[in-house]
Amino acid sequence: MSKVRVRFAPSPTGFLHLGGARTALFNWAFARKHEGVFVLRIEDTDVVRSTEESVDVILESLEWLGLFWDEGPKVGGEYGPYFQSERLHLYRQYAEKLVQEGLAYFCYCTPQELEERRQATLAAGKSWRYDRKCYLLTPREREKLENAGRKPVIRFAIPPGHTTFQDMLRGEVSFENQELDDFVIMKSDGIPTYNFACVVDDALMQITHVIRGDDHISNTPRQVLLYKALGFPCPQFAHIPMILGKDRTRLSKRHGSPSVTYYRDQGYLPEAMLNYLARLSWATGEEEKEIFTREEIIARFSLDQVTKHAAVFDLDKLNWMNGVYLRQASNASLASLLEEILVRNGKVRREDLTPSFRAYCEQVVAIMKDRLRYVAQLVEEGEYFFSEDFPFDEEAVRGVLFEEGTGEILRASLVRLQKVDDFTVPLLEEAIREEANRLGVKAARLIHPLRVAVSGKRVGPGLFELLAVLGKGRVLFRIERALRMLEERSSG
């Protein structure tokens, strides 16, 4: 059996979205599982919408996920080039071959002419398909049109009959050829259309298995016909389900963000993202197990465990899964992630990333790890770690800080804490519990107002851990400030 060769072929017209990432993932897993080759090809024939930045973002996203390709941009390979824009001569060559063999033909109809005839046909209550007006053009007629300055497209002549292919997930899928149009394979500017370039490339790159989204099912009969016309062997096809948003429509900005880089920038871990994506549409074959390393994914991956129906992207589950990975990650790695996010959000300047700040970040993630779903939460909800100018939750102030008797308690706590030289968890705990005893109240009576005073929130990490991380100076300052808030309230 020949070596498995699969490919992922994105168009660089934007970021890599989750659906594309999952398609890449399945291709990659399939290749690794079968010790085959994973090819990356950039389908940049749409000159207007394709950008170099987009290529970079897509490559970065794949690399971040650890979906490394064996052939393609940056790494090369013997079937290159891997950018379609550098393969135009190949498409031209094969298109001309089809024309010479009478399997494709030049068409000079203008868009306006086509539209007129389409409207007329529709008005007559019939469904429109290209009417093959140019199919039987004589050389003379063609010459005339050329001389009139018309630039032809090349259309593929759909043969009669029907086209059937085996889908690895769905079995036999069949189309009537008459439903297919004599579609354009080369535009008048010499740029191939998607189906044609795709077939030429997949054939020339010796792709054995085409694993792609099921939105391509209806392209497949056209492609199968092209393989036959070009005399290429057909690859195996597997159309995997799409990923939809919560409302079961195509994943888009409305559903949060569909881009891989967004999740990277929010502080999701690549292993978590990969794991979650793998679990969409794929049954691992194991109950009670959701967490899979990339090696485990490869070892278990099989296309016949892939479902046939669309999957809904569930942020809750991704968050849960990312939390699992976050808790497994080292404080050092999370701290460096946190630093990047702080810099990107303008909370910290790059030159302030000192070793001591790094140590501080490690302490922060150490006490926050258990309650994080993604690292950027620390920027969104944990301002109090990085600034004195953090918001106070109104409900916490009203319900906890302004409770009767809190002033005396805070003042007593302040005095007591001033005497604690070393802000370590055991010493802080001892101090607060002793002070509670002395005042004849439960420790909680001190703990809750203190938390609000130093963090502005009524929920958060354990108080003693929090005080220890913030350090004596900031803690005392914040308690004094809270006391002033209380005074202002009672006087005003």
3-class secondary structure, 238: strand
Residues 27 and 7: beta-carbon distance below 8 Å: yes
Nearer to RNA, 82 or 464 (CB): 464
Nearer to RNA, 290 or 403 (CB): 290
E strands along 162-267, which residues? 162-167, 171-176, 184-186, 209-213, 236-240, 243-244
To the query of whether residue 151 is one of the catalytic residues in this protein, the response is no
Sign of the CA dihedral running 367, 370, 375, 377 = negative
**Cα gap 275→293, rounded to integer Å:** 7
3-class secondary structure, 208: coil
Number of H helices, E strands in the chain: 20, 11
**Cα gap 229→38, rounded to integer Å:** 26
Smallest gap from residue 215 Cβ to RNA (A): 3
Q: What is the 3-state secondary structure (H, E, C) of 274-339?
A: HHHHHHCCECCCCCCCCCCCHHHHHHHCCHHHECCCCEECCHHHHHHHHHHHHHHCCHHHHHHHHH
CB-based contacts of 316, cutoff 8 Å, min separation 6: none
Smallest gap from residue 188 Cβ to RNA (A): 15
Smallest gap from residue 345 Cβ to RNA (A): 22
User: Annotated catalytic residue: which of 3, 133, 144, 253?
Assistant: 253
Smallest gap from residue 484 Cβ to RNA (A): 23
Nearer to RNA, 59 or 242 (CB): 242
Nearer to RNA, 59 or 482 (CB): 482
CB-based contacts of 36, cutoff 8 Å, min separation 6: 3, 4, 5, 6, 30, 208
Nearer to RNA, 97 or 216 (CB): 216
Residues 450 and 463: beta-carbon distance below 8 Å: yes
Residues 388 and 477: beta-carbon distance below 8 Å: yes
**Residues of the shown chain interacting with RNA in the complex, contacts defined by CB under 7 A:** 118, 122, 127-128, 170, 173-176, 179, 181, 214-219, 241-242, 244, 248-250, 279-283, 287-288, 290, 305, 307-312, 314, 316-317, 320, 323-324, 327, 370-371, 443-444, 447-448, 451, 458-465
Phi, psi of 306 (to 5 degrees): -90, 135
Q: Give yes or no for a cis peptide into 160 (omega within 30° of 0).
A: no
Smallest gap from residue 369 Cβ to RNA (A): 9
Smallest gap from residue 313 Cβ to RNA (A): 7
**Cα gap 41→29, rounded to integer Å:** 17
Nearer to RNA, 47 or 122 (CB): 122
Nearer to RNA, 75 or 120 (CB): 120
Smallest gap from residue 276 Cβ to RNA (A): 9
Provide the 10 A C-beta neighbour count for residue 486: 20
Nearer to RNA, 104 or 463 (CB): 463
Smallest gap from residue 353 Cβ to RNA (A): 27
Distances (CA, A) of 330 to 70, 337, 365: 30, 11, 9
Q: Could you tell me which residues are beta bridge partners of residue 175?
A: 163
Q: Which residues are catalytic?
A: 253
